[in-house]
A and B are shown apart, each in its own frame.
Chain A
Amino acid sequence: MLAKRIIPCLDMIEGRVVKGVRFVNLIDAGDPPELAVAYEAEGADEIVFLDITASYEERDILIDVVQRTSDQLFIPFTVGGGIRTVKDIQSILKAGADKVSINTAAVKSPEFIQKSARVFGSQCIVSAIDAKRVYVDIDAPLGNRIVIETPEGLCWWEVYIYGGRTPTGIDAIQWAIKVEELGAGEILLTSMDYDGTKDGYDLPLTKKVVQRTKVPVIASGGAGAIQQIVDVFKITDASAALAASIFHFREIAILDLKKELQNNSIPIRL
């Protein structure tokens, strides 16, 4: 049976992991490959690197990180952040990454996903979607937006780009349907409302996107406790759960998390 995946995410600037990471026994806690290897040893199923380097000119540093990671890491890893061209994808995959995640460039030019999927195969194209709730009145004119009644109120979800800085007016659930049509092999769905809150994943959003698409959906944003990760797998059919700080700061050990998932009859690789 296909297992649910647990994915730690590492944010990097200029080849260094940002936000502190509290690991013991590491020579260099800021070195992405070394951290990724430590996570593999703990039972992570996959790693996501998100390059948030402001300058596009620093790409050589990223390529070096990808190469060093692929020499040592024996689980799949995805690289995202600032990917704009087919050439960007090619250099990252050639350096040894298994997948790339595309966000802003896809929103600005949807055919980029189509082209990338055709050249490299859907299996290595992850569409990253940053979504934020827009609460509405029941009487408001909503056009073709997908509106859902959540415990917090009636809302739709808007796609944001440029690292969550720029709203686009695009309906996130419809965008998810669209990226699948264009050939994305997976959707990395981040709730901007819940990211950093530790209140748990945005379950109504995750559930709806899973329902409306056939590709694997990675839930992201909000994980703060083991029970919330159990919930995202019990309440939605998400394929994977991504988290950053709770793993980095040892608030949750991956092994403990996986044991608890297994206790809840969720298929997991132990």
Chain B
Amino acid sequence: MVNLAIVNYEMGNLKSISSGLKKVGAEVQITKDPNALIAADGIVIPGVGAFGDAMKNLAPLQPTILEEISNGKPFLGVCLGAQLIFEESTEFGLHKGLAILKGYIERLPETVIAPQIGWNQLIIQQFDNPLVEGVENYSYVYFVHSFYPVPENPDIIVAKTDYGLEFASIVAQDHIFATQFHPEKSSAVGLHILENFINFIKQ
């Protein structure tokens, strides 16, 4: 059984991601305890809310998260959790992120409606990435966001999404995965992606 630690940092709906991961067979623990992160087979940071507040709440766990990830522990960031692993964001002032991946967080332009709320498509760039194994190109997944990641290295983009502009909706580098959408709200496709993450850990 894969044992996952969902980082509880008081940002948004932790219950849904927990239900989704349980549904695909993981054992999950919603936790603030650094020892639980160390003991887990993988770390998940979900979250909805403002980048600056999130980093503030995450601060006590930051050293543990960074160390575990640099030691090779599988990681999944969802929505805000996907943004926090980049270097910085300009959401309500400039904020430093966890800087696990190189790049920054940008606001959706004035020309489109923000937040983007609803189902949009994955335009898969790397079909051989374990997170999208068996996921059909142009599958729909559920988004709720006003910001998006801009990775410095385009080679880490696993899927893009077209919302007037094309942005990175899945990024991955080795054992680090991040989705701008909510797999736990994306019905069968989303559960499949969560299952792929579990399978990656098992291997």
**B199: shortest Cβ distance to chain A, in Å?**
18
Contacts of A239 in B (CB 8 A): 117-118
Query: Whose C-beta in chain B lies nearest to the C-beta of A75?
Result: B187
* A228 lies within 8 A of chain B by Cβ: no
Given contacts A96-B13, A123-B48, A123-B117, 18 further A-B contacts (CB under 8 A): A2-B120, A3-B140, A5-B118, A45-B118, A45-B119, A67-B15, A74-B187, A76-B182, A96-B19, A98-B16, A123-B144, A185-B115, A186-B117, A216-B118, A239-B117, A239-B118, A240-B118, A269-B140
Cα of A75 to Cα of B116 in the assembled complex, Å: 16
Task: Tell yes or no: A203 within 8 A of B by CB.
Answer: no
Contact B190 A74 (CB under 8 A): yes
A71 in the interface, Cβ–Cβ < 8 Å? yes
Residues of B with C-beta under 8 A to A96: 13, 15-16, 19
Once the chains bind, are B118 and A185 in contact (CB under 8 Å)?
Answer: no
| B52 interface hit (Cβ, 8 Å) | no
Spell out B's residues near A (CB within 8 Å). Answer: 13, 15-16, 19-20, 23, 48-49, 113, 115-121, 140, 142, 144, 162-163, 182, 184-188, 190-191
Q: Which residue of A lies closest to B48 (CB)?
A: A121
Shortest CB distance B79–A (Å): 10
Which of A67, A74, A122, A186 counts the most chain B CB atoms within 10 A?
A74
Q: Are A76 and B142 in contact (CB under 8 A)?
A: yes
With an 8 Å Cβ cutoff, the count of chain A residues facing the other chain is 30
Using known A-B contacts A74-B191, A95-B15, A123-B48, determine if residue A2 contacts B163 with beta carbons closer than 8 Å.
yes
B17 to chain A, nearest CB (A): 10
The CA-CA distance from A94 to B163 in the complex, in Å, is 30
* A185 vs B191: C-alpha distance when bound (angstroms): 26
**A71 contacts across to B, CB distance below 8 A:** 19
Please give, as numbers and ranges, the residues of chain B lying within 8 Å of A74 by CB-CB distance.
19-20, 23, 184-188, 190-191
Q: Does A93 contact B (CB under 8 A)?
A: yes
Check if A189 is an interface residue, CB within 8 A of chain B. no
- With A70-B15, A96-B16 given, is the CB distance from A3 to B185 under 8 Å? no
Chain A hits for B187, CB < 8 A: 40, 74-75
Q: In the complex, what distance in Å separates the CA atom of A13 from the CA atom of B186? A: 28
Query: What is the bound-complex CA distance between A17 and B111, given in angstroms?
Result: 41
What are 12 A-B residue pairs whose CB atoms fall within 8 Å in the complex?
A2-B118, A74-B19, A74-B188, A75-B185, A76-B185, A96-B13, A96-B19, A98-B16, A214-B113, A215-B113, A216-B118, A269-B119
Closest Cβ of chain A: how far from B189's Cβ, in Å? 9
Q: Does A1 contact B (CB under 8 A)?
A: yes
CB neighbours of B23 from chain A (8 A): 74
Please state if A70 and B115 are interface contacts (CB–CB under 8 Å): no
Nearest chain A CB to B13's CB is how many angstroms away? 7
Which residue of A70, A122, A215, A240 has the most chain B CB atoms within 10 A of its CB atom?
Answer: A70
4 closest A-B pairs (Cβ-Cβ)? A269-B140, A96-B15, A3-B119, A269-B119
Distance in Å: Cβ of A101 to nearest Cβ of chain B: 14
Contact partners of A95 in chain B: CB under 8 A: 15
Q: Which of A1, A45, A123, A124 contacts B162 (CB 8 A)?
A: A1
Decide: B119 and A123 in contact? CB cutoff 8 A.
no
Q: Taking the complex as formed, is A227 at the interface, i.e. its CB lies under 8 A from any CB of chain B?
A: no
> What residues of chain B lie closer than 8 Å to A94, measured between beta carbons?
15
Q: Is A91 an interface residue (CB 8 A)?
A: no
Q: Compute how far the CA of A96 lies from the CA of B15 in the bound complex, rounded to whole angstroms.
A: 6
Q: Does A72 contact B (CB under 8 A)?
A: yes
Give chain A nearest CB distance to B54 CB in angstroms. 12
Closest B residue to A40 using CB positions: B187
Q: Give every chain A residue within 8 A of B184 (Cβ-Cβ).
A: 74
- B116 to chain A: which residues have CB within 8 Å? 2
User: In whole angstroms, how far apart are the Cα atoms of A123 and B114 in the complex?
Assistant: 9
Question: Shortest Cβ distance from B124 into chain A, in angstroms?
Answer: 15
Closest residue of chain A to B145, judged by CB? A123
> Which residues from A are CB-within-8-Å of B48?
121, 123-124
Interface string of A47-89 (1 = CB under 8 A from B): 0000000000000000000010011101110000000000000
- B157 CB, min distance to chain A CBs, angstroms: 19
Instruction: Give the residues in chain B near A3, CB-CB below 8 Å.
Output: 118-121, 140
A240 to B13, CA, bound (A): 23
